[in-house]
Each structure stands twice: as structure tokens, then as C-alpha cells.
Amino acid sequence: MEEALGAGDDNGVRRIGQTVRRRPGPAATAVHALLRHLCDAGFDGAPLPLGFDDQGREVLTFIEGEVFDGPVPDLMWGDPVLENAGSFLRRFHDATVGFEPPADTLWVGEQPGDLPIEVMCHNDVALYNVVFRDGRIAGIIDFDAISPGARVWDVAHAAYRFVPLSRGEAPAHLAEPSEQARRLRLFCDAYGLKRDARVEVADVVVRRVAALRDLLVEGAADGDEASVKHLAEGDAALYEDDVAYVLSIRATLEAALV
């Protein structure tokens, strides 16, 4: 029996027993190579690739646990989860070092050209893409947007989602700039982000959220159904508002990171 996974519209992701079946993205072959590399490196927080089924869907191992793709309980906004996310992202990045992707891979989530290539970036680390078990992150899923990139590019996106650096994505007490600055520092401390990268985190968050907006608008213009839907729901306007918001509190964020 196939069980649909994920909230909202049908995304084609199905669970069959202890496997997950999903439509492959353009970088599926490279993603499977990376997942094997992660396993060989001793990283146990990602699914294992099991090839493709007779419908052409990629087959991955299922990670037991809970994914918050919808309403988020207050517990998920506690400092322990934030610190866990930072340290987990660091372990993931470190495990990707040395991976050599196929040269002809078509990456979906490429970063700006002025940032260095240091690791493989997941590019969508957020509560809806991590699996929790007993209050801690057991694994990360959905590698469709992965690409080579800079640590700070992925840190910026994860911080935007987990701190969060937004006016409307979390309980009201987390929408205060001073609290967001404290939590941003906590996340960067847990990751172990170096000082030279810390000084640019706030600016990279702005660029990262602007890139999310641009990707959504471009996808809608190209007729991508999911992008059209999210654009109609106001997601591009939300990203635009968050860009302006982070710019308005940038000095507070930067002061907390030095």
C-alpha cells in the first residue's frame, strides 16, 4: 500500500513499507552519489538511495520520526532545537567535504558566483525538511535543491527558518529583534561558524531570501504549478517583506555576532 507523504497538494511522494518513492529531480543521479558518500563518511542523518522503481521513481530509505510540515508546536521554537539544528547542519556540511559530483550535473539551487565553493549545500534546511525523533533531529530529507556552495549560504537559509528571521513565522516573543539576534548567535555558535563568515551572515540572509523570492517569481513565469500556487498565496510578498525586515534590524544582528 502506498501512503502519501507531505502536507497540502499531492507532491508525488509516497511511502511503501520502509521506503520512500518520489519523482526524481534533474540532479537525482548526483544526489544519490552524495547520499552514498554521506553514508561512507559515517553520517547517519540522511536517507540511503536504493535506485529507481519500475515507474521511474527514485527509491530511498524511510527515516522514522516526525516532520512539521504545517502548524509547529511551541516546543520546536525552543533553544535546544535551534542549537541541535546548528550542530546538525555542521555535521552534514563536514560529511560532504571531499564529494566530487558529476561535472555535467544540472543543479537547481546554485548560489551567487562571488561566494566560495566549500561544501554541498542542502539549500532548504527548515522544519519541514528535517525529521525529529525524541525532540532531536534524526535526519534531513528532500535534496532536490542541493548544490555546491559556501557554508554561510546554507547557514543563512537555515537561520532564516529556525531563528526565524521573519516577522510572522513564529510565536510573538520570537519576533523581537533582540531575541532574534540572540538566537542567531546561538545558531551560529552551535554550527561553529568562523568569525570571517559571521560578519556577513546578515547580508547573506538578505541575499538568500531575495533569491527565494526570485526563484518563485521565475518559476511562476515558466509555468511551474507549485510556483504559480505559492505566488498566488502571497509567498513572494512575504519574502519581500522579510528582506526589508532583516535589512531594518541588520545592525542589531551584526552586533550580536561579533
* 56-105 residue pLDDT tens: 999 999 999 999 987 888 889 999 999 999 999 999 999 999 999 888 89
CATH number of domain containing 98: 3.90.1200.10
Are 226 and 140 part of one and the same domain? yes
Instruction: Answer yes or no: is 68 within a domain.
Output: no
- Closest among 107, 133, 135 to 44, alpha carbons compared: 133
- Closest among 238, 237, 224 to 25, alpha carbons compared: 224
Are 248 and 130 part of one and the same domain? yes
Are 25 and 142 part of one and the same domain? no
| pLDDT of 143 | 94
Instruction: Answer yes or no: is 81 within a domain.
Output: yes
Residue 239's domain spans which residues? 74-257
Are 51 and 78 part of one and the same domain? no
Are 198 and 147 part of one and the same domain? yes
| pLDDT of 1 | 76
Are 89 and 174 part of one and the same domain? yes
CA–CA gap between residue 174 and residue 216 (Å, rounded): 26
- What is the three-state SS of the chain? CCEECCCCCCCCCEEECCEEEECCCCCHHHHHHHHHHHHHCCCCCCCCEEEECCCCCEEEECCCCECCCCCCCHHHHCHHHHHHHHHHHHHHHHHHCCCCCCCCCCCCCCCCCCCCCCEEECCCCCHHHEEEECCEEEEECCCCCCEEECHHHHHHHHHHHHCCCCCCCCCHHHCCHHHHHHHHHHHHHHHCCCHHHHCCHHHHHHHHHHHHHHHHHHHHHCCCHHHHHHHHCCHHHHHHHHHHHHHHCHHHHHHHHC
Are 194 and 250 part of one and the same domain? yes
Instruction: Answer yes or no: is 186 within a domain.
Output: yes
| pLDDT of 158 | 98
Instruction: Answer yes or no: is 247 within a domain.
Output: yes
Could you tell me the mean pLDDT of each successive run of 10 residues in the chain, 258 residues long?
A: 70 90 92 97 97 95 92 90 98 97 84 92 96 96 94 97 88 91 98 94 96 91 88 92 96 95
Q: What is the grid cell recorded at 67?
A: 516532520
Do 126 and 67 touch, CB atoms closer than 8 A?
no
| Gyration radius of the chain's alpha carbons | 18
Region class of 142: left (phi > 0), else alpha (psi between -120 and 50), else beta: left
Are 143 and 210 part of one and the same domain? yes
Q: What is the grid cell recorded at 176?
A: 523581537
Do 84 and 124 touch, CB atoms closer than 8 A?
no
Cα distances (Å, whole numbers) of residue 75 to 82, 160, 175: 11, 18, 16
Are 33 and 78 part of one and the same domain? no
Are 26 and 78 part of one and the same domain? no
Are 10 and 121 part of one and the same domain? no
Query: Which pTM was predicted?
Result: 0.94
Domains identified in the chain, total number = 2
Instruction: Answer yes or no: is 69 within a domain.
Output: no
Instruction: Answer yes or no: is 66 within a domain.
Output: no
Q: 239: which residues sit within 8 A by CB, 6+ positions away?
A: 209, 210, 212, 213, 216
The per-residue pLDDT for range 185-205, each reduced to its tens digit, is 999 999 999 999 999 999 999
| pLDDT of 167 | 84
